Amino acid sequence: MSAGLLLKFPKPGRLGDCPQCGRNDGYLNVYKSHWFICRRHRVKWYAGYDLFPGWQDETEEDWKRNLQILSQYREVRAKFRKLRATRQDE
């Protein structure tokens, strides 16, 4: 896998979005940890640990490069969308 390649999450908002614009530009792995970013606002937020298997295809060098990229972003609390409830009987 190419280092610094932002991976897209298939369900927007499930693991948070930028608190300013409500979007995200995907995530970077650092070992088993996953960090989402917003390039526009230069922010990052922690999404979780070992949630996506893609980290297994990355190398130590990839993670070091991802850490370098993430060091340029300010850590924030993610904005979470309210999920609409669906009725089971519909």
Exposed e or buried b for every residue in 28-67, given b needs 16+ CB within 10 A? bbbeebbbbbbeeeebbbbbeeeeeeebeebeeebbebbe
The 10s digit of each residue's pLDDT in 59-86 is 999 999 999 999 999 999 988 876 565 5
Q: How far apart are CA 39 and CA 54, in angstroms?
A: 21
The 10s digit of each residue's pLDDT in 31-66 is 999 999 999 999 999 999 998 888 999 999 999 999
The answer to whether the CB of 44 falls within 8 A of the CB of 70 is yes
